[in-house]
Amino acid sequence: MPGTAIVGLQWGDEAKGKIVDLLTEQNDIVVRYQGGANAGHTVVMEGKKFKLSLIPSGIFRSHVQSVIAGGVVLNPASILQEIDGLKEQGVEIGGNLMISDRAHTIFPWHFIEDGILDGLGGGEAIGTTQRGIGPCYRDKVGRSLAIRLGDFYKPDFKDRISHIVAAKNRSFTGLGIDIEPLDDRAIHEEYAGYGERLRSYVADTTNYLLDAVDADRRILFEGAQGSLLDIDHGTFPYVTSSNSSAVGISGGSGVPSHFLKKIIGIAKAYTTRVGGGPCPTELENDIGQKIRDRGNEYGTVTKRPRRCGWFDAVAVRYSARLGGVDALSIMLLDVLSGFDELQICTAYEIDGRKIEYFPSQAEELRKAMPIYETLGGWKEEIADVRNFTDLPENAKRYVKRIAEIVGRPVEIVSVGPDRVQTMFV
Ligand code: IMP
């Protein structure tokens, strides 16, 4: 089975959606396997803009099966909103969308917890997307207060909600949080309604994908967020609550990892980060602002301005190795036009020592001073260039240098959001 995966190699927002969209045509199935509605991207098709958060972009191709696998956390209201919005725009959604009955579901208490708990432990806040993602994953791991989508159709669904609401109300009171107690009946009524509307999409996606593997069908795995936000391997605690690096593909989808034949790592030609946590190459100056303006670096979901900086090759080399990445796709290279010089971070200096690996502790990374290699810039706008060989010499040199330092070939270079603004190297 030629399984292909797309994963972000930085802190998310690497424009993965564009590459997923490009590769969707060559696949039978597209799978989202982790995260929730904390991710978001816009797909432009024939001049029309479509906003996607949880639904794989395979939804635009009638021959492609879109699968939301069990590793995802699902907000029923927001996925229904997404489905309705796409249908209103003429997208056909029926049997071509499948949602795992194993997916854990986000309830109103998760939003409340996301709002109050971030930063409660002291120190810098994680700066979550406030979509209830972390609290839902926490309940999943804790088990006793968790509800999976498959539970919506069981006779004890109402009782489970009552039991959990009572526990959550007690916990809010205990924490001294002054809110109206949650109303189990109203929540049950609302969520039972969502369950009915979602019923036709709900399936055992693990079984479906294992059958697809046996039948040699082509599967594309679509990662959300970026590898450096991975709960186990990222810049903990300033991370998301799932395995957003390539290590999460098998766990989230149920497909054994040896079926993956190619992993494409997506990285911007520079660095961005949203929310809290260390980001060694961040530029809080005119250069950072120029990158932000040229790259329109404002969050799709939360509209927050993204923190911008030079390309961090130490970080990307780490996530490329962690993910077993075969090839790189360098995105938004056009944003870097107009600079006299460009910098690539090739190592860090921490406490006077030169470090070439990515530290495991956020406090260490916070102390890291980037050691830069300076490359010549280019003045020309490159959004209209269609062949790699036609790029300005310094742009080609920049991309090749990234490949050398990261230790992986660059196969794709993107110079704009449109499908045609893509070069295969
Ligand atoms: P959460 O995923 O909402 O819990 O947020 C945890 C951290 O991950 C915060 O720093 C968010 O800004 C970041 N994050 C979550 N989803 C995305 C994404 O899609 N792009 C970029 N950052 C994200």
Task: Please write the tens of the pLDDT for every residue from 329-368.
Answer: 999 999 999 999 999 999 999 999 999 999 999 999 999 9
Q: What percent of the chain has pLDDT over 90?
A: 87
CA-closest residue to ligand 1 atom 11:
128
Q: Is the CB of 115 under 6 A from ligand 1?
A: no
Q: Is the pLDDT of residue 174 over 60?
A: yes
Once rounded to an integer, what is the mean pLDDT over residues 99-105? Answer: 98
Predicted confidence band of residue 66 (pLDDT cuts 50, 70, 90) = very high
Comparing 44-48, 53-57, 178-182, 341-345, which segment has the lowest mean pLDDT?
A: 44-48
Ligand 1 atom nearest residue 133's Cα: 4
Residue 420 sits at φ, ψ, to 5 deg, of -70, -15
Q: Is the pLDDT of residue 27 over 90?
A: yes
Predicted confidence band of residue 1 (pLDDT cuts 50, 70, 90) = low
Q: Is the CB of 242 under 6 A from ligand 1?
A: no
Ligand 1 atom nearest residue 38's Cα: 16
Q: Is the pLDDT of residue 390 over 60?
A: yes
Comparing 3-12, 118-127, 131-140, 144-153, which segment has the lowest mean pLDDT?
A: 118-127
What's this model's pTM, rounded to 2 decimal places?
A: 0.96
Q: How far is the CA of 233 from the centre of ligand 1 (A)?
A: 15
Q: Is the CB of 12 under 6 A from ligand 1?
A: yes
pLDDT at 46: 74
Ligand 1 atom nearest residue 274's Cα: 12
pLDDT at 213: 96
* Nearest to 249, CA basis, from 272, 214, 282, 223: 223
Once rounded to an integer, what is the mean pLDDT over residues 153-182? Answer: 95
Model confidence pLDDT, tens digit, residues 280-303: 999 999 999 999 999 999 987 778
Comparing 134-148, 225-239, 287-301, which segment has the lowest mean pLDDT?
A: 287-301
Comparing 39-43, 283-287, 393-397, which segment has the lowest mean pLDDT?
A: 39-43
| Alpha carbon distance 185, 274 (integer Å) | 37
pLDDT at 119: 67
Q: Is the CB of 225 under 6 A from ligand 1?
A: yes
Map tokens 């986000």 to a residue. 106
Residue 31 sits at φ, ψ, to 5 deg, of -120, 130
User: 275 CB contacts (<8 Å, ≥6 apart)?
Assistant: 126, 127, 128, 129, 238, 304
